[in-house]
Structure 1
Amino acid sequence: MRNVPTLVFVFAFSMSLFAQSKKITFSEIRWKAYKTLKSESMSHFGTVKLKSGNLISNGNELTGGSFIIDMNTIDAEDMNGNPKQKKFLENHLKSDDFFDTEKFPVTVFQIKSVKKISGKDYNYQIDGILNIKGISKTISFPAKVVENNKAISITSAQFTFNRKHFGLKYNIFEDMLISNDVEMNVKISAQ
């Protein structure tokens, strides 16, 4: 009986030896936000860049990972035709009205669980903790995960988060004109 804790420790240690951390080598993080009237003409969209990240696998199974997103790279692609307005919107999103990148330059997502699901386009459910402006909330989304010995790729289904849950609030009058939901699509590859 005395050897049971030792066996448990050896088993857990040997399992951890098989876990591998793979560095993210490609990422595309897309966002879209709307006015309260949800239409394409009343939306802004663009990208934000990953600062660093990794995915953890055990054999060919994704088990975890974390992403650090550089909020100072937020790009409003829909405004590319109007550089002055584009700069204004991007600076506004970086200001303390929204992401306050001076105090909170990064957003962090940490994968807490990965579950296989029976889906036609998306074969896993990813649950994790999203931290924006020092506020952490659980989010979940379906994703297509492709794994082999050398690489892992994740393509998320479109998912949303409520900006107000993370303190992304503008003044009371303007805020009533902005939808609470921010749509996201994420593609990640790691080796």
Structure 2
Amino acid sequence: MIDSTQSRLNWEGYEGLKLGKSEHNGTLAIAKGTLNIKDSTITGGSFSIPLSSLVVLDIPATEAGNAKLKKHLLNADFFDSEKFPNADFSITNVAKTVGDSVAITGNLTLKGTTKSVTIPAVVKMENNTLTASTPKFYINRKDWGMNYRSENSLGDELIRPELGLSISLMAKK
């Protein structure tokens, strides 16, 4: 069982042509999930990310811009959290690479669209507790239909398509 109090997803979004600050960042909770563990490594599993748990970190919570950005990200142009309240990841393959490193392939579902992604991770087992962490990796938000206003609008071009993500998981064996 994944420990939701010790697991999270970090996100970064990037503005392309705008002057000034070019990055927003924050976290999302990993609310529920399981990992299949054999010989101190992950062999399978799945987890859900409630989009309502989105936190913006680069704008102080007391500033109006924080709530405005959160509302913008949860609306229909991006996550559409009212219609699709969760993002889901289901592991389809784990390949050992070097040392504690693995390549985790799985199906990521956002906005009702499922795409296969492969994520590098470091997996460690200590005292019956498994930790898995990823370096920052990137997905293209447009692959899941996250387009600002419309796919071909100038507003959409001001926001780079890459989302930077990193994941930290903890689970008890």
TM-score by length of 2: 0.90
Retained in 2: the 8 A contact 1:24–1:55? no
1:178 to 1:89, Cα distance in 2 relative to 1, 3 A:
same
Retained in 1: the 8 A contact 2:12–2:165? yes
1:152 to 1:47, Cα distance in 2 relative to 1, 3 A:
same
Establish whether residue 166 from structure 1 lines up as the match of residue 147 from structure 2: no
Query: Moved runs in structure 1, 4+ residues, more than 4 A?
Result: 37-40
**Higher relative CO (CA 8 A, sep ≥ 6), structure 1 or 2?**
2
Retained in 2: the 8 A contact 1:163–1:180? yes
CA separation in 2, counterparts of 1:66 and 1:59? Answer: 18
Establish whether residue 187 from structure 1 lines up as the match of residue 168 from structure 2: yes
Residue type of the alignment partner of 2:8? E
Tell me by how many angstroms 1:104 deviates.
0.4
Tell me the residue number matched to 1:104. 84
Stretch of structure 1 that moved more, 72-81 or 151-160: 72-81
Bigger proportion of residues as helix: 1
CA separation in 2, counterparts of 1:31 and 1:141? Answer: 15
Tell me the residue number matched to 1:17. none
- In the alignment, structure 2 segments of 5+ residues that lack a partner are none
Matched pairs, number:
168
1:71-90 equivalent positions in 2, closer than 5 A: 71-80=51-60, 83-90=63-70
Tell me by how many angstroms 1:40 deviates.
8.6
Establish whether residue 93 from structure 1 lines up as the match of residue 73 from structure 2: yes
Tell me the residue number matched to 1:129. 107
TM-score by length of 1: 0.82
> Identity over aligned residues, as a percent?
32
CA RMSD of aligned residues (A): 2.0
